[in-house]
Amino acid sequence: MPQITYIEFNGTPHRLDVEPGLTLMHGARDNNIPGIAADCGGACVCGTCHVYIDEAWRERIGGRTAIESATIEFSNEVAPHSRLACQITITDALDGLVVRLPESQ
Amino acid sequence: MNAVNKPAPHWDPYDQQYFANPYPAWSRLREEAPLYYNEQYDFYAVSRYEDVERGLFDRDTFISGKGGILEMIKQNVPIPPGVFIFEDPPLHTMHRSLLTRVFTPKKMNALEPQIRAFCAKALDPLVAGGRFNFIDNLGSEMPLRVIGMLLGIPEEDLKSVQHRVNENLRTEPGKASDYSEHSFVGEGYEDYLDWRMKNPSDDLMTELLNAEFVDETGTNRKLTRDEILIFINILAGAGNETTNRLIGWTGKVLAEHPDQRRQIYENRALIPQAIEELLRFEPPGPSVGRYVAKDTEFHGQKVPAGSAILFLVGAANRDERKFTNGEAFDIHRARVPHLTFGYGFHACLGNALARIEGRIALDEILNRFPEWHCDLDNAYLSSTSTVRGWETLPAYTPKAGKAPVSIGAAIAKDNAPSGEKWKLLLKTPMGPQEMIMTLTRDGASFSGRIESPMGSEAVNGGKIEGEKLSWVMEVTKPAKLKVTFDVTQSGETMTGTAKLGMFGKAALTGKRV
Ligand code: HEM
Ligand code: FES
């Protein structure tokens, strides 16, 4: 299973195996990682699953979808490498992915 | 437990006995009938958090395209494109995303100074007297002004616009189908839109006029005038009544929890979590309806395609499986998201606005009235298929005391023994309908008129038998309908029913004015 690392704002890392087909948001939420709220459950309407993609992975992960671009305006402290975790589906190719969580959702 | 002695759990969305406190009934549904079927009105309801969440997220099984209100779903009211609250993909996605950017928390938070100013204007004149009304003075004023400001409607015109919109919203959805499309068009707003087309500004109307999008045919285009009117109507309809109820519940629930109110008064940083707890505890819109597009199951029981189902947000919000001690009001509880703003693809677009309005309203109330009691004898609760909350909620500070009966009103009543005036509230399945009835008694009969947003109609066949009054009213709008009233008067109030032709019965209450 692809291994994903979520790093909390305070620096605490959480390394998890996430089943391919789930989203990056579900990986965090199902394992109760603090720092992901995901209020809408992955419908891409709330912006509370905001993550920063680690530098090494930015190109491979790619840019936001059109709807995500609108919804991410609901998130705080958005950066160019910000993504909504519910819009990223885990595949084997993402094994080793590292994402950082914002200060608040 | 002896099952024979205990009747099966029951809940009826139209029965007044459940309005004031639906929670015991919902608690039984949650525990004993997690998939509830109401035979009388032929709908299903689920009440556990997990089930409500699952249902609201599954937009392929539970579709919005036939409406989100029980009566609409049952009556198969046609819904014009653009009413995205009642749309499914791809139209829903397309239409909603046009508005997404407008309602971001950042933009809404920037409205704080104006929202505070609206609250100050509404409340300042009442401080000296020590009496105020959560609904009449604040709830029905502030959210309306905020939405008006966003849209760019001059303040002095707001009330009349709102009145026209309410007429539409309240009477339309359940009416005969040849009228129904009418209900969603932003009647009342056309003049402003036409004016804005010629005088662009930085408001939402202008933004919508300029917005470009790719429509369902793949064409890149701007919104039509009718589409914009529909959007405006949805925003005004979805945002005013609901936030108004939130403000009412804030008044009622905090009056009943003075200790927690004092803590908030002393530490305003508690306001956001207090508003979340209020939203959980008394959701202004306690149920969300869907049409079942394909066969499905809850708890091993089948729900066939073609059914109507209600997701009982108000029940899910108190589910012990999710909220420890869920029936208790506690602003300090751990943050577990409530479902008051819905869930999934249709989750409330205006939640950031509603939240900031609720927080500022509470802060500004506390600034002026650190403590209050609610005058529940003169308050009025209504519950419709869309909102549950206070229609009017007078309050007073401990020092001012309850408002005395107005001497002027008492004299006026004594001097007019034959001409009585009653304010009636009819809880139609499509929403509350307020009416003023004047009546003149003549032995065992009476005559009179009823004024309502639908027009002025004569009272026919007025009969009095002791405490019982009955009469008939013929209305032509929204549909040709004979309405038969049966009420019991007790002193200054009356309660009863109105039979709305083929649309069934509606509960009626009245107060002498
Ligand atoms: C306390 C106040 C409010 C409550 C309790 C509330 C509740 C809800 C709920 C439960 C839904 C989901 C309906 C469904 O799934 O069928 C919803 C949708 C919606 N709300 Fe709110 N709302 C509130 C305030 C507002 C405000 C202030 C606005 C805007 C000005 C607004 C605009 C909308 C819109 C446009 C939708 C449709 C979203 C869609 O279908 O994609 N609401 N609201
Ligand atoms: S979970 Fe709501 S936008 Fe991702």
In A32-61, the residues whose Cβ lies within 8 Å of chain B are 37, 39-43, 45-46
Whole-number pLDDT of residue B80: 81
The verdict on the CB of residue B288 being under 6 Å from ligand 1 is yes
Alpha helices in B257-372 (DSSP H): 258-266, 271-281, 313-316, 351-368
The CA B169 to ligand 1 mean position distance, Å, reads 15
Looking at chain B, the domain(s) classified CATH 2.40.128.120 span: 420-512
Looking at chain B, the domain(s) classified CATH 1.10.630.10 span: 46-396
For A3-100, CATH number out of 3.10.20.30, 3.40.50.300, 3.40.50.720, 3.40.1110.10 equals 3.10.20.30
Cβ of A73 within 8 Å of Cβ of B53? The answer is no
Cβ of A74 within 8 Å of Cβ of B105? The answer is yes
Q: Which two three-digit tokens encode residue B290? A: 């869907």
CA distance linking residue B362 with residue B356, whole number of Å: 10
CB B78 within 8 A of CB B67: no
Which of A41, A46, A73 is opposite residue B101, by nearest beta carbon?
Answer: A73
Cβ of B337 within 8 Å of Cβ of A42? The answer is no
Ligand nearest to C-alpha A38: 2
Q: Which two three-digit tokens encode residue B24? A: 């015991």
Where do the structural domains in chain A lie, given as residue ranges? Answer: 3-100
Q: Which residues of A touch B347 (CB under 8 A)?
A: 39-40, 43, 45-46
Cβ of B53 within 8 Å of Cβ of A41? The answer is yes
pLDDT in tens, B83-93: 899 999 999 99
Evaluate whether ipTM surpasses 0.95. no
> Which amino acid would we find at residue B425?
L
Distance from CA of A2 to the nearest CA of B (A): 26
Q: What is the DSSP string of B3-53?
A: GGGSPPP---TT-GGGTS--HHHHHHHHHH-SEEEETTTTEEEE-SHHHHH
* Beta-bridge mates of residue B505: B499
Whole-number pLDDT of residue B405: 60
pLDDT in tens, B156-196: 777 766 666 555 544 333 333 233 444 555 556 888 888 88
Nearest one of B344, B271, B279 to B62, comparing CA atoms: B344
User: Which of the residues in chain A have pLDDT under 70?
Assistant: none
CA distance linking residue A89 with residue A62, whole number of Å: 12
pLDDT in tens, A48-72: 999 999 999 999 999 999 889 999 9
The verdict on the CB of residue B252 being under 6 Å from ligand 1 is no
Ligand 2, atom nearest to A44 Cα = 3
User: Which of the residues in chain B have pLDDT under 70?
Assistant: 1-5, 160-188, 405-418, 429-431, 453-454, 476-480, 501-503
CB B213 within 8 A of CB B221: yes
Check whether domain B46-396 has CATH 3.30.360.10, yes or no? no
Whole-number pLDDT of residue B1: 47
Whole-number pLDDT of residue B175: 33
The verdict on the CB of residue A44 being under 6 Å from ligand 2 is yes
Ligand nearest to C-alpha B361: 1
The verdict on the CB of residue A42 being under 6 Å from ligand 2 is yes
CA distance linking residue B167 with residue B161, whole number of Å: 10
Q: Which residues of A touch B100 (CB under 8 A)?
A: 45, 67, 70-71, 73-74
Q: Which two three-digit tokens encode residue B425? A: 């509230």
Long-range contact set of residues B17-22: C-beta below 8 Å, sequence gap at least 24: B18/B383, B19/B381, B19/B382, B19/B383, B19/B388, B20/B381, B22/B286, B22/B314, B22/B383, B22/B388
User: Exposure string (b/e) for B438-470, b if CB count within 10 Å is 16 or more?
Assistant: ebbbeeeebebebebebeebebeebebeeeebe
* Span B420-512 CATH architecture: Beta Barrel (2.40)
